[in-house]
Each structure stands twice: as C-alpha cells, then as structure tokens.
Chains A and B, each alone.
Chain A
Amino acid sequence: MKPRKTRNRQTTYQLQLWLMALPCILLVFLFNYVPMGGIILAFKDYSFSDGIFNSAWIGFDNFKFFFQSGVAWTLIYNTVFLNFLFIVSVTFFSILVALFLNEIFKWRIAKLFQSVLFFPHFISWIIVGYFSYSFLNADNGFLNVVLGYWGLAPVNWYASPEYWPLIMTVISIWKGLGYFSIIYLAGMVSINPELYEAARLDGGTKLDEMFRITLPMITPLIYINLFFALGRIFYANFDFFNNVVKNNGLIMSTTDVIDTYVMRSILVTGDFNMAAAVGLFQGVCGFILIVGSNWLVRRMDNENALF
C-alpha cells in the first residue's frame, strides 16, 4: 500500500514539474524549432503564391547562385574580419582598463570610472547611430570640425569605405569596454591576496604583480571569452551595422555583412531564396564553430562549458 502511494506522489510531482516547464517549452518549440524546418527553403525556389511547401525544389541552385554572385566572399570576409577586429580590440582594451581599475579598486573613484565606462552598454544602437552621424557627417560632423581646427582637410567619411573597419572597431570598443572590463575585473578581484603578499616579500614590483600574477590568473577567463566570441564569429550584430552604416552603398564594400544582407533580402529586395541560402550557410558555419569552441572551453574548464 505505502510504496504505491509514494509512487503516486512521485508521479504528481513529475507532472507538476513538466507543467511548470510547459510555457517555456512551447515558446522555444514555436520560435526556435519550428523555424528550423524553414531551412528547406534554401533548396527551393520560393514563390509567395505557392508557399513554403509547394514551391519547387531546385537542389543547390540557391547556393551556387550566391557563391557565383561575387557578393558571397565579400560578405563572409567582412563578417569574419570585422568580428575578429572587434573581439581582439575589445578584449585587449577591456583587460587594460580592468588592470588599471584593479589597481585603484579600493578607491571610490574606481566606481565612478566603472559607471562612466559602463553607460554605453545601456544605450541603444539607434542612438549610437545618431552619435556616429554627429561625429562623421561630412558637412558639420565633429571629427571634421576637429580636423578643421588643426588645419586638415575634411574627410567625407560616409563615402570612404577604407576608414570603416577602424570606425566600427572604435565604436565596438566604446560600447563593450565597460561590460567586458567588469567581467575581467570580477576575475581579478577574486584572486587570492596571498599571492600578492608572497610577491611583495620576494621584492616584486607593482609591474611584476600586474604581469606575473594578475594577468596569468585571469588567462583562463580571457580564453573562455575569446572562444565564446569565436563561436559567434559568423554572426554579425545586425542592430550595430544597420544603425551605424544605414545601408549606405558607398561604404558597403567594407561594411556589408551576412546579417545585413539577409535582412535586405527579406525587406528590400524580397529575394527570399538568397536569404534562405545565406541563412543556412551561416547556421551551419556557426554550428561547427560553436561546437568547436565549446569543446575548447570544456577542455580548459568544464564548469563554464555550455554543453
């Protein structure tokens, strides 16, 4: 009699747990799993009147067209190259700032610096687009005003693609510096103080402490962050590119990325075949890289691996 009653109770609890998970299960199923079925569109010639299921199968023609169009390699190169620039420079400067913040961590002013640097994280990309316009527009942008003070010729930034990898990198650093320096600072302040005591007893200088204790101790954290970013290197931040570049054809040669191309295919050109093919290509590359980078994280530190 008794064991059966316990089992009934167990079943009730199991049922309750499944019910609690249900809203999230439904949402994830509908908005994440159902769209995965849409990848069949990459192998079809989509027509609005026939719909997803009745459009004709065309094999790999969409991919062939995409890779022969000449746009493909520019898009892939821009996406990976710009993301690489962002990752490396944001990481470098965040660590630098975190190292200095760590030195003055006990001072009140450190909190002020941290807040000032963190605020850009809260600002929407559309407002970042306004900033970049106020800095870069050719007629009266702040940068050209400054160049004028120095007697230099103004630059038509929005028509000079060669400057844009640098411009985008600077904006990336500005937006991400506070966030990532907090992550690295969190790693630094949790380093065992006895290590520093020992270094002092051995006559180590402050620089020794920074480069021989602090930096090596947060190296695993740096690698983990780098690997995660690497896993997403095929995904560009659409909001960032859309608001700062604003589909400007003059600078597209260095700023057009996979995500802006896909959105343009959906909203402007209506070329769903390309959007589907490029989307699947991105998904597959992303899958390989995320699994790979997760494997690297797991090898270093099991606790932080996602899978």
Chain B
Amino acid sequence: MPSSRSQSGGAVTWISIGVLVPICILSVLPIWILIISSVASTESLASFGFQIFPSEFSWEAYRKIFAQPDFILRSYSVSIAVTVAGTLAGVAASALFAYVISRQNFGGSNFLSFFLFFTLLFNGGTLSSYLLISNFLHWKNNLLSLIVPLLISPFNVLLLRSYFRTIPLSLIESALIDGASEFRTFRSIVLPLSMPAVLTVGLFTMLMYWNDMTQALLYIDQQYLYPLQYLLYKLTFNQSIIPQSGEQYTGTIASPLALRMGMATIALIPIFFSFLAVQKHFVRGIMLGGIKGD
C-alpha cells in the first residue's frame, strides 16, 4: 500500500480519537457525578454542591439505606419477578406468532401480519387502555398490569419474522413431511437456528420491563408492589419511603441528596454489570434488526 495512505490515515485516526475522547468523557460525566455524590458528606454537598470530587466523603447514605434494606429488596424482587415473567412469556408468544407469519405458504400469514402491524398505525390512546385495565380487568395493584399489556411489541415480532425467513423453507417442509407437527418443527428446527434473534429480542424485552415505570404509575399504589424504578420515582417526591428508624442504628443523619443518589446508584449497578455482559449481543441485535426507532 502506498505510504501516503497510511500517513493520512494516521492523521485521521488521531483526529477521530481526539474528537471521540471528549465526547465519551462528557457521556460518562453524569454517571460519575451521580455515583460520587452518593458518597459525599452532607456538609460537602451543602456548601460546595455536586462536584467531580467531593471535598469530603461519607458512607452515611449507604449505611442508612442498608440499615433497613427490606423496602429496597422488596422492590428488587418485584422488578425481577416482572422482568423474568414478562420476558419469558413475551418472547414465547412473539416467537410463536413470528413463526406463523414467517410461513409465506400459510394462508393466514398476510392477514395476521396486517392484524399485528396495524397497531403501529393507530391506537386507542392511553385513557382507553387505562379504563380497560383498571375498570374492566380490575388489575389495579395487581402485577399482571405491569406484565401482560406489554408482552407483545410489533418490532420484536418483525425482527423475529425476518430472521425466521432466512431459514430455507425446504428444511421446514422436510421436517413436516417426516411427520413432525408444526410446533415440533418450530421448537426443534427453527428455534435452535434462530438463537441470535431470539436472544436479541429477549434482551430488548428484559430491558424494557426492567426500566418501565409508566405502568406502575398508572396501576400500582401499594408500596409493597412498587417495582424498583417506581420506588425511585416516588422517592423524588417523598423521602419518607426510606424507613426513618435507620437513624437509630447509625446515630447521624445522611444528606437527603446523597441518599437519593445512593438509591439511584444501587439501582444502576446491576444494569451496569448486565450491560457489560450483554452489550455485544445488543450491538449485534441492533445490526440484525437494521433500523427501528426507539
């Protein structure tokens, strides 16, 4: 290769790094400030505010939160239950449906595709769903209200359908000719060959359930049923959610600001580690799905 290329390539490489490094630092900055402020002392926050390095550190916020960890563990278990149930059921229902509409030789496939994708065009509005779930199904303060309405996302079905269609029809037909049922063919041939797509949809679904707060805002008002995100949301309006008796154990008062940031940090940590574990699959999944809005 001509040397001029590597030279100009070198310059562009350094320019690219020079542009991207500050962008990445700015991107991390809010996360850093949140975490570091959770260990800032009350005095430090009061007199200097949020800083990149607090002038004085204190573990008081965490001591107070963990003095009575029941309420946060409770919310964690609600979130985990909702996420696990929603992801398993959602992926199963989506994959089954996607298999059916991926079969272009099946008479109902066009109708069913339209049936699902029409919901992207028009919806009855938040009020209608609210009345259906609270007044007709009576799912207020019922975890079903957090799980069932969100099970199907047309984009996930679309992604699965496109992937299933890359599997040669002859493979499916030969299984059917050998006497396998449609379900058996789906389970033992199509599904194992489509694990990347299924995994991607599973991850999208998990993230959606874990971070969802709107459903809880609409349907949950008993604190023992708060998912983690909704607990954090309520905390911004109402500090008394954190049990006050914690002070008897520690003797000192933690800064309310540090307490809130501490709660947010505790919620952020599992997301961070899951992110490290699954981000590679996510990136592949986004490339798989091609375009889709957020």
Contact = CB atoms under 8 A, between A and B. Distances in A.
B115 interface: yes
Contact of A36 (B11, B107, B124, B148): B124
A38 B217 CA distance: 21
Given A100-B19, A124-B229, A125-B211, A275 B127 contact: yes
Find the residue from B97, B127, B217, B287 having the highest chain A CB count within 10 A. Answer: B127
A116 B24 contact: yes
B126 A266 contact: yes
B16 A103 contact: yes
Given A130-B260, A130-B261, A140-B46, A21 B100 contact: yes
A116 B21 CA distance: 10
* Interface size class of chain A, counting residues whose CB lies under 8 Å from the partner chain: 35 or more
A159 interface: no
B151 A134 contact: no
Interface string B275-289: 100010011001100
Contacts of B152: 24, 27-28, 31
Contact of A279 (B37, B125, B290, B292): B125
B283 A114 contact: yes
What does DSSP make chain A's interface, helix, strand, loop or mixed? helix
A287 interface: yes
A145 interface: yes
B252 interface: no
Contact of B126 (A23, A142, A263): A263
A2 B156 CA distance: 41
B124 A140 contact: no
Interface residues of B, number: 103
A28 B119 contact: yes
Contacts of A120: 27
Interface in B132-150: 132, 135, 148-149
Given A17-B100, A224-B291, A229-B293, A283 B232 contact: no
29 contacts: A14-B107, A20-B96, A23-B92, A24-B94, A31-B148, A32-B124, A35-B125, A38-B132, A100-B19, A104-B20, A113-B24, A118-B282, A123-B271, A124-B267, A126-B232, A134-B261, A140-B257, A145-B48, A174-B27, A177-B23, A182-B283, A206-B9, A225-B293, A232-B293, A242-B217, A276-B127, A290-B120, A306-B120, A307-B117
Given A14-B108, A186-B290, 11 more contacts: A25-B97, A27-B93, A38-B128, A39-B128, A97-B20, A119-B275, A174-B27, A182-B283, A186-B287, A225-B293, A307-B117
Interface of B: 2, 5, 8-9, 11-13, 15-17, 19-20, 23-24, 26-28, 30-31, 33-34, 37, 45-46, 48-51, 92-94, 96-97, 99-101, 103, 106-108, 112, 114-117, 119-132, 135, 148-149, 151-152, 157-158, 176, 181-183, 186, 207, 210-211, 213-214, 217-218, 229-230, 232-233, 236, 257, 260-261, 264, 267-268, 271-272, 274-275, 279, 282-283, 286-287, 290-294
